Amino acid sequence: MRRLLLVICVLSMGSLARAQTAPSLGAAATFAVLGSAVTCTGPGVISGDVGATGAFTNTTGCTIAGGTPPATNTAAGLAQTALNTAYQNALVANSSCTSVLAAAPGANFTEPPGVYCAAAGLTLGAITLTLNAGGNANAVWVFKIGTGLTGIGFQVVMANGGQPCNVYWLVGADSTLTTSTFQGNILGGGAASAFTSTGGTLIGRVLANGAVTLTGPNIHGTCALVAQGGGSCPADDDDKHHHRDKDKDRDHDKDKDKDKDNNKDDNKDHN
């Protein structure tokens, strides 16, 4: 009996060791965008606080909504220290990979919660990555990318209760997104990891040690706003479709009731 219990305990500990672990972002959690320098070229919108340890350049047409745009912010320095701690801790805590990703996936693919690794860079073209939570709103995904992350016309979709705030992209070098619909927290934890985006949409956070350059951005800093005690994570696409279907059912029921009432009136007139 004791041996059986020992085996069960060992198996349980092994299972826990392989489980993906969300990093604690500490002082960086309240920032939607963080970098050594931040440049935003409009037209575009950033929702949430923007932190820059160096220069902050905000051109005409770039709107900061629901947050503060500091040029140089002491809080940003503390947040960058927290980012580096979170990044290193996350690499250690998620040392076991659920799966190894191809350097350039060529077709749409779906992944359950887990730790996904790309030893070198990861290039994602005009394909869709679906993150399926399986009904667990607390499900976590960790993507460990040794060097750079590139997305061109790429799309991330949350399904079955998945939340973008529970998705972490640990990037060891530069990240570049072009006309992509991206979800999750990008942690550019390399020594000089920069982030560049052109067009597209990002739901989550951009936290980088290097410069952040945004052209025509549409950044929803929902996760940072939640950390500040306001807002909530957006529902996934499946939930939206579910609500739309329920609305259609209600409308259909109303139409049936109207038909019943009309039939009753016709019968009265006939009598």
pLDDT of 14 reads 38
Task: Give percent of the chain with pLDDT exceeding 70.
Answer: 76
Q: CA-to-CA distance for 27 and 205, rounded, in angstroms?
A: 13
The three-class DSSP label of residue 259 is helix
Question: What would the mean pLDDT of 89-109 be, rounded to a whole number?
Answer: 97
End-to-end, the C-alpha distance of the chain in Å comes to: 82
Residue labelled with tokens 């997104």: 177
- Average pLDDT taken over every residue of the chain: 84
Instruction: Answer whether residue 215 shows pLDDT above 80.
Output: yes
Contacts of 239 (CB under 8 A, 6+ apart): 161
For residues 174 and 195, the answer to whether their CB atoms sit within 8 Å is yes
pLDDT of 2 reads 43
Of the candidates 46, 101, 51, which has an alpha carbon nearest to the alpha carbon of residue 219?
A: 46
Hey, where are the domains in the chain? 22-227
Q: CA-to-CA distance for 35 and 56, rounded, in angstroms?
A: 9
Q: Give phi and psi for 52, each to the nearest 5.
A: -140, 125
Question: What would the mean pLDDT of 130-143 be, rounded to a whole number?
Answer: 98
pLDDT of 233 reads 60
Instruction: Answer whether residue 13 shows pLDDT above 80.
Output: no
Number of CB atoms found within 10 A of residue 165's CB: 22
The three-class DSSP label of residue 97 is coil
Whole-prediction pTM: 0.81
Confidence class for position 260, pLDDT limits 50, 70, 90: very low
Instruction: Please give the angle made by the CA atoms of 156, 149 and 169, to the nearest 5 degrees.
Output: 60
Confidence class for position 3, pLDDT limits 50, 70, 90: very low
Q: CA-to-CA distance for 230 and 37, rounded, in angstroms?
A: 26
DSSP one-letter string for 2-45: HHHHHHHHHHHHHHHHHS--PPP-GGGTTEEEEESSEEEESSEE
Q: CA-to-CA distance for 155 and 110, rounded, in angstroms?
A: 12
pLDDT in tens, 24-54: 999 999 999 999 999 999 999 999 999 999 9
Residue with the larger pLDDT of the pair 71 and 241: 71
Q: CA-to-CA distance for 129 and 132, rounded, in angstroms?
A: 10
pLDDT in tens, 156-172: 999 999 999 999 999 99
Instruction: Answer whether residue 118 shows pLDDT above 90.
Output: yes
Percentages helix, strand, coil for the chain, rounded to the nearest 5? 30, 35, 35
Number of CB atoms found within 10 A of residue 145's CB: 24
The three-class DSSP label of residue 5 is helix
β-partners of residue 56 are 38
pLDDT in tens, 246-258: 344 444 444 444 4
Q: How many CA atoms lie within 13 A of 131 on its CB side?
A: 28
Question: Among 7-11, 104-108, 143-147, where is mean pLDDT lowest?
Answer: 7-11
Distance of CA 197 to the CA centre of its chain: 15
Confidence class for position 236, pLDDT limits 50, 70, 90: low
